[in-house]
Structure 1
Amino acid sequence: MKEKIIAYNAQFHQVTKSPYGKGDEIGMLNLIDGKSRSAIMSRADPSKVFDLSVDHFVGMPGWFGAGDQPYQIWMTHTPAGEIVDNSMGVTLEANQLISYSGDSISMYTHCGTHIDTFNHFGYNGQIFNEFSAETHLGSRAWDKCGAEKHPPIFARGILLDVAGLHGVATLPPSHAIGEADLKACLAKQDVKLLPGDVVLIHTGQMKLWPSMAFVANTPGLNREGAEFLAKHGAIMIGADNLTLEQTPSAHELNFFPVHTYLLAEAGVPILEMAYLDELVSEQVWEFAFFGACIKLRGATGAPMRPVAMPLAH
């Protein structure tokens, strides 16, 4: 069994060498094992399942700040079109009988509800565990820390309702969520943060979905808040906003200080654009979390459809 390490010896603006070995590509997800999976699944109440993902659709909000493409879907085969094109090389009668439809999609890998992997952000040409772009980045993708390396995540999840703490439906633009907010939420909700937890943060930003107002000046974690959660053993941190973290950045040089800290220093993957409103409305603060991302080899992010089940009393 791997040693349970809950806080890495991270150094400011430097990538961390993983305590799980020079080949490690999953960081704090190493805390998941058969014992921890069995423990949380034995407590799950499957009579109610909360879907924590959003739909993908043309015109959906997303990260377009660096020129990445929005979500697109188009038909590649339609019943009427097949009668004209006959792409399958069959008879007219067969095409009239068999109504064939097919489609393709194009999108940024950080579109909709998704995970951020460790090769998404780093420092000085390196990513988590000192993998370098010079050695591990090819013409198409990284060969280290891609989405295909992420195991399915079965873990205890906790929800911190920061918007509710402040008595608002949606936090003000660019509100910074630091240690004080997080501690106050834990106390108000009578929830303990334990090593191995998935931590989800409710900012109320989904109240703006699917308006493009969703993407601007997001309230979210600052580095202080991220450090508090990581050093208490969070294995993944997510939120209902575009970027997890406060935007615009309060750091003069680092435009994504929480991303770089969690991914490159702390070894904690990120979940973004999670739909948390139903959990909040039913005050489900503790739950069994399950999420598995699409195994896109080498990708810096991948869609995930996470679900939560309340815990049986």
Structure 2
Amino acid sequence: MNHRTALFQSTFLATILAPAIVLGADVASSPWGPNDEIGRLNMITPESRKAALDNLNPEKTYDLSVEYYIGMPSWQAAGDPHFQMWMTHTPKGTQVDDPMSVGDKMNAHVSYTGSAFSMYAHTGTHIDALNHFGLNGKVWNHFSADEHLGDRGWNRTGVEKLPPIVARGVLLDIPAAKGLDELSPGYRITREDIKYTLTVQGTDIAPGDVVLIRTGRMRHYSDGSRFMTNAPGLGMDAARYLAGDRQALSLGADNLSFEAFPSEDSENYVPVHTYLLAQQGVTIMELVNLEQLAEDKVYEFAFIGTPLKIRGGDAAPLRPIAIPYTSAR
């Protein structure tokens, strides 16, 4: 165990570990009380933020987000709208239309450009709120759709409730540990894959860490069809290891499905999502760009990310960054 991991397993963090959750075939009650809407993010404290931001090397900061553009990978096959962008004002158009009633001379002098865009909430680099998937008509902490979901989204567990995430981050470069550029299509990441990767990298996961999983699928991001087809992803046993045994704060990956398909559970087509969101209160980040971190072999860093505050939303765009640590003191 290195110095920084030991820091995160110090006494102050031990006092805020997520209490045990008893699992069944239903959603879980929050150990943080009946009004809790953010789940495992309750583990973020002033002390944990201070520890995460200690001993940084800001010489290079990593942008972990992807670009949004027409034709980008999205869930169109599931019937969701793709990313669309259109111009609402152009320099020449304003000269013709004079929308601000300032006259031709002013419009010729002041070049006005404006645009609008629309997309499915789970497009590009984003974070899933705890209401994204549930069980039996309820989401995390037994908030029911019948009572809390209206025509304008959820009135409980909306993505706007999520706090800024400031925590120690850990990269798991699964293919690199196996001597591969990327995992094979449909590969299901196991508990043993994670343990082996940690050993190869010489890293560890402490309670309250953000854990980011590289599959290598981001290498094909510019090819929407290839990117979306049969992506590798997390398996249930690996999810139980990260969220249950290691008490991760939040999980993310470089694919758009996070988990691997087909499902391991004949009675649940997204068992990893429902386990993490509805039963563990663990938020999920998808389409996290981990290629530069992996290339530079940066496995531990300060993770900073905050979603757009979309009231009642089940997800929101996220632009996370990673700041490496200096060498251990």
Provide the rounded CA distance (Å) in 1 between the counterparts of 2:264 and 2:74.
Answer: 21
Amino acid at match of 1:283: K
Matches within 5 A, 1:115-264: 115-211=127-223, 212-231=225-244, 232-264=246-278
SS of corresponding position for 1:199: strand
Matches within 5 A, 1:46-61: 46-61=58-73
Provide the rounded CA distance (Å) in 1 between the counterparts of 2:27 and 2:196.
Answer: 31
Identity rate of aligned residues, in percent?
Answer: 46
SS of corresponding position for 2:154: coil
Gaps of 5+ in 2: 1-11
Provide the rounded CA distance (Å) in 2 between the counterparts of 1:7 and 1:174.
Answer: 33
Provide the rounded CA distance (Å) in 1 between the counterparts of 2:281 and 2:22.
Answer: 9
Check the 8 A contact 1:114/1:303 in 2, yes or no.
yes
Indicate the RMSD between aligned Cα atoms, in angstroms. Answer: 1.3
Q: What is the CA deviation profile of residues 43-88 of structure 1, one whole-angstrom value per residue up to 9, with x for unaligned ones?
A: 2211110110000000001222320000001000111111111111
> In the alignment, does 2:290 pair up with 1:281?
no
Q: Structure 1 stretch 301-310 or stretch 251-260: which is displaced more?
A: 251-260
Matched residue, 1:89: 101
Matched residue, 1:45: 57
Check the 8 A contact 1:171/1:204 in 2, yes or no.
yes
Quote the offset at 1:308 in angstroms: 0.3
With normalisation by structure 1, the TM-score equals 0.97
Amino acid at match of 2:273: H
Provide the rounded CA distance (Å) in 2 between the counterparts of 1:38 and 1:158.
Answer: 17
Quote the offset at 1:7 in angstroms: 5.2
Provide the rounded CA distance (Å) in 1 between the counterparts of 2:66 and 2:85.
Answer: 16
Amino acid at match of 2:228: V
Provide the rounded CA distance (Å) in 2 between the counterparts of 1:181 and 1:151.
Answer: 31
> In the alignment, does 2:285 pair up with 1:271?
yes
Change (3 A) 1:7 1:200: farther
Provide the rounded CA distance (Å) in 2 between the counterparts of 1:8 and 1:140.
Answer: 33
Check the 8 A contact 2:19/2:31 in 1, yes or no.
no
With normalisation by structure 2, the TM-score equals 0.93
SS of corresponding position for 2:167: strand
Check the 8 A contact 2:18/2:31 in 1, yes or no.
no
Q: What is the CA deviation profile of residues 180-211 of structure 1, one whole-angstrom value per residue up to 9, with x for unaligned ones?
A: 11111111111111000000001000111111
Amino acid at match of 1:11: L
How many equivalent pairs are there? 313
Check the 8 A contact 1:7/1:230 in 2, yes or no.
no
Q: What is the CA deviation profile of residues 143-199 of structure 1, one whole-angstrom value per residue up to 9, with x for unaligned ones?
A: 111111111111000011111122111101111111111111111111111000000
* Ranges of 4+ aligned residues in structure 1 off by more than 4 Å: none
SS of corresponding position for 2:153: coil
Quote the offset at 1:306 in angstroms: 0.4
SS of corresponding position for 2:76: coil
